[in-house]
Amino acid sequence: MDDIVTRPAEEISREELYELVWQTPMSKLGAQLATNGPGLAALCRKRQIPTPPLGYWQKKAVGRAPEMPPLPSFEPPQKTSPSIKSARGSGKPQVPASVPSRDAESVAELPPFDEDDESLDHMRALHPKVKAWVAEHRQLQESRRAENRQRSRDFWGGSLPHISDLTARDRYRFRVTSTLFRAIEKQGGQIGEAKLTGKVTFLVSDQELKCVIAEKMSRATKIMEGAGKWTAFPHHHQTGLVSSGFLRVRFDTYVNGRSRDWIETSKKKMAIILPDIVSAIIAAGPLLAEAAREREERHRRYEQEQAERRERQRQQEIDHRRWSRFQDHAENWRERDRLLAFIEELRRRLQIEGDADIEGRPLSDWIVWAEERTHALDPFQNGLKGFFEAISSD
């Protein structure tokens, strides 16, 4: 477990710290959270987190530990007027500086936004695709809690990081995405694949348009309070970047050779930009369809040119084979005449020297054998027509 939790205790959310203190004794857990047992117990009291009673771990070892009490809602202590003490060497009072909570749902200094914008879909009436994201997040939370409960029964099990609740930024992105989905469907489009990360595929005019609806990220210039708490899905974003506090919609599919990108600002929120995005998505369908037709036409012409090239090559190969046959027949014709003259000389010598047997065959039979083979070389055995029919056959 030593290499699982490495953050200081003050940077851990209240819910996650609650899970941790009921899984590992504070004497061991404190060392992993850059503090000690008493310091961790003080932090739990300050944040109103119930802790295991005395003897809990001995009872747990024999399976008789009491159940974990539920985590109560946090009730901030009532503010009292700070005591004013004179500063040494001056007559000015010292007032304690306020410390921002590290359990805030969003990063400090993010631009403000209207979470209750009525022009966006309400969280209770999200588009089914987006509603599935909420259910997926809840299921991930429950699975993580169940896994940590199982690990708590194992002395060496340790615990996995707590999965935070949806933040205000998450809910805002979900509502914007849901509103965009419904507007696209109202214009005749369809929603294809929609991932929790914000990667979405729209189907317009039977064409796929891939988009990303996510936070506009920026590189942090300083460490901000609550860093990492602006979203319940920090692993969806590149390490070292933080939210700029604005949403971004980007086309990952190029339309007319370029991508489109919309980023909200403090003066122009996403609810104002959405109509322009919807128009661009709907207009992209016919443009993508036309581009697809042009690609198909280019592919058809390419295939036709390749077929014509292959046909020309085939005809050239046929012509080459025919010419080779023609040359072979011409050589055979010359060879036939030379061999017939030679056979005549053989017959003349047979008349002079007389017949004899070679391998049980008389010399006259051998001359007949040679004459038959020689006549087979005649290219005109079947006439001129037969000659060219033999040349043209494949």
Instruction: Assess whether 113 and 241 both reside in one domain.
Output: yes
Does residue 159 fall inside a structural domain?
yes
What does pLDDT average to over the chain? 83
Q: Is the pTM of this model over 0.85?
A: no
> Which residue is listed with tokens 């203190």?
21
> Could you read off the pLDDT of 106-133 as tens digits, one per residue?
343 556 555 667 889 999 999 999 999 9
User: Are both 290 and 165 inside the same structural domain?
Assistant: yes
376 lies in the same domain as 321 = yes
Is 88 inside any structural domain?
A: no
Q: What is the arithmetic mean of pLDDT over 343-359? A: 93
User: Are 16 and 71 spatial neighbours (Cβ–Cβ below 8 Å)?
Assistant: no
CA angle 228, 230, 236 (to 5 degrees): 70
The string of pLDDT tens digits covering residues 225-268 is 444 466 777 767 766 677 888 999 999 999 988 889 999 998 89
Q: Which of 30-39, 243-252, 302-311, 314-323 has the lowest mean pLDDT?
A: 30-39
In a domain? residue 98: no
Confidence of residue 66 (pLDDT cuts 50, 70, 90): confident
pLDDT tens digit string along 208-221? Answer: 999 999 999 887 65
Q: Residue 43: pLDDT band by 50, 70, 90 thresholds? A: confident
The answer on 301 and 176 residing in a single domain is: yes
Question: Is residue 348 domain-shared with residue 301, that is, in the same domain?
Answer: no
Residue 7 has pLDDT above 80, yes or no: no
Domain-embedded: residue 242: yes
User: What's the pLDDT at 339?
Assistant: 96
Residue 83 lies in a domain: no
Q: At residue 202, what are phi and psi to the nearest 5 degrees?
A: -100, 145
Residue 89 lies in a domain: no
Q: Is 181 exposed, middle or buried (0-12, 13-18, 19+ CB in 10 A)?
A: buried
Whether residues 206 and 252 fall in one domain: yes
Residues of the domain holding 55 = 1-70
Q: Residue 366 class from Cβ within 10 Å (0-12 exposed, 13-18 middle, 19+ buried)? A: middle
Tokens matching residue 280:
């661009």
Based on the fold, state whether residues 341 and 208 are members of the same structural domain: no
**Same domain, residue pair 353 and 298:** no
Q: In which band, very low, low, confident or very high, does the pLDDT at 199 lie, cut at 50, 70 and 90?
A: very high
